[in-house]
Amino acid sequence: MILRVTDQISIEDWEITEAFVRAGGPGGQNVNKVSSAVELRFEAGRSPNLPEAVKTRLRRLAGRRWTKDGAIVLQVSEERSQARNREIARDRLVALVLAATVVPKRRVKTRVSPNQKRKRVEAKKKRGEVKRARGGVEEE
């Protein structure tokens, strides 16, 4: 099954490995018997479908979930159903890759106008005058 992220980016089956492990939380005796939690591993570093710029942003966005060998590991154990946890993990992966496709806007440096600088200095001088005018009590 191919996961579509955008028109240009899709994730192939061979790039994803899923392991099912036992999960804690609600489920009664079922929790001890069934491996319902999913650990999804996406080989992002080796993916031919991801442009280098997207990989770089994805690495930053993934944070601790990015492994040394360039894979993203997502763990989901929210639901009691294995199928639902698998679906959630795949949705999260698509959302993460989609977020990495967004190119951040460049910050445009702004300059403080000379008039603003002048006003700031005048306000400081005025405040200094007020403070200087507060004299101590003269003793006779």
Query: How high is the pLDDT of residue 64?
Result: 92
Domains in the chain: ranges and CATH: 3-101 (3.30.160.20)
Which one has a higher pLDDT value, 140 or 106?
Answer: 106
Query: How high is the pLDDT of residue 140?
Result: 67
Answering whether pTM is above 0.85, one says: no
Across the range 4-27, mean pLDDT stands at 80
- DSSP states along the chain: -PEESSSS-EE-GGGEEEEEE---SS-TTHHHH---EEEEEE--TT-TTS-HHHHHHHHHHHGGGB-TTS-EEEEE--SS-HHHHHHHHHHHHHHHHHHHHSPPPPPPP----HHHHHHHHHHHHHHHHHHHH-PPPPP-
Across the range 30-59, mean pLDDT stands at 86
